Amino acid sequence: MQRLLTTVFEPGNGQVRAALLAVAKSETFAGALRLQEFLTYVVEEKLAGRQNRIRGKTIAADVYNRKIGGAREGDKVVRVDASRLRRRLDQYYASEGQQDAIRITIPLGAYAPEIISQTNQLTETTGPLAQSPASVKPPHVSTHLPSTGKTEMKRRAIFEKSPASLQAFKFAQQARGMIWPPSDPVRMNAALDLFERAIALDDKYFGGYSGAATIYAFKAMLPGQGDRDPMLAKARDLASKAREMNPAEAWVQSALAWIAFVEKDYDRSEKLSVQSLILDPDDLFALEFHGVMQILSGEFEGGLASLEPIAANLEQTTHLNFMNGCIVAYFYLGRYADTITNVLKLGEMGGDISPLLMVYLSAAYQALGEGNSAQAVVHDLQSAWPTFQPDKLLPRIFRYPEHPQAVLDLLYGAGWSSN
């Protein structure tokens, strides 16, 4: 029997950053870039434990690049913008942000923000584990699906540069859609080959480097792919080149976020991932990585809030893999029937069924007491993927050890045994 974990809602850094992203991308703050920068700066300083350093002079220097040297003009600009920011925040929480679970305020007479949760209730779980660090749904981050017209314009602009550059772009986009599920090494290596071909065709295109960096980070994380340290070094080198080419590109920031996640630098990973979505909320791949990293960090409600709206519009997406993350989140939220239904639905719609999803399918059946179905899935898993080792994979990808253990206990109960 799994131990149930309950917790009082104290927003973690990931949830606070999700709340910050919701504010920054709202209609209320549309076009107010300086106020977005001001708010992002003071929130990040607070999350880093430097709230005592948040003063007018430091904001003037760090946000507006004004010299501290006793000049009063910088302080005046900060005071005026702080007043404008407070009014915008009031407008946001009176309209778009009324239902937000977390509220960010700038108190009068200070610049350090206050982070206020809208609930202090104990949470209950029906599944094997409660979420860590919290199980209250964070504010939903709205995104827009990319339009065909936008892609066509991008292709036309790249073609005007050179046909080789357009082919590099096409290779990288094709490979990007092959990254998930990463538990298939053949598919992952095929994606890496396409990214490297993109680099060979256009060594000034950031996409080839960002994609290859992501693959090498996956290789560093997954078992059986070689030594971790050289893989991570390669990933960092490629991502650094991509950043030099285009630091304001969401894909670049998302690749850096994933590398930081693999390195277990979770705060930096969250910060970079949120930054990628602020740069381009239409980037579905950046959104996918953001949601997956939330789920792997135990923020199951937050990950579901990021991925589920996209998965609900499958006909508009370039692939069906958003459902993969949703399925894992459903399992840990105790929604076992939804786990089963969506794995079956994914297969019916032509999505990729990875051995990892088979693990969660069997565990969900086992959790519902449907032992025969769970055992049948285990049999299929071991027949189709005889070398797959979930007991080695899952502990390497989740932030907290209790989460892989929860699914492995159910899998063992269904008759699975390690090779």
Residues 6+ apart with CB under 8 A from 224: 185, 389
Which ranges of 146-265 would DSSP assign to H, the alpha helix?
148-161, 163-176, 185-201, 206-221, 228-245, 250-262
Q: Which of 25-29, 123-127, 333-337, 410-414 has the lowest mean pLDDT?
A: 123-127
Can you give the pTM of this predicted structure?
Answer: 0.67
Query: Is residue 261 within 8 Å of 269, Cβ to Cβ?
Result: yes
Q: What pLDDT score was predicted for residue 67?
A: 55
Give the type of residue at 377. V
Residue 322 pLDDT > 80, yes or no?
no
Tell me the pLDDT tens digit for each residue of 125-152.
444 444 433 333 334 444 444 444 556 6
Residue 102, helix vs strand vs coil = strand
Q: What is the dihedral of CA 74, 88, 39, 58, to 10 degrees?
A: 20
CA–CA distance, 344 with 347 (Å, rounded to integer) = 5
- Backbone dihedral angles phi then psi of residue 8, each to the nearest 5 degrees: -75, 140
Number of Cβ within 10 Å of residue 289's Cβ equals 26
Q: What is the DSSP string of 274-318?
A: HHHHHH-TT-HHHHHHHHHHHHHTT-HHHHHHHHHHHHTTGGGSS
> Would you tell me how many other CB atoms lie within 10 Å of the CB of residue 181?
17
10-50 pLDDT tens trace: 567 777 888 888 898 888 888 788 888 899 989 988 888 88
Non-local (6+) Cβ contacts of 4 within 8 A are: 125, 128, 129, 130
pLDDT band at 66 (very low <50, low <70, confident <90, very high): low
Residue 245: the pLDDT is: 94
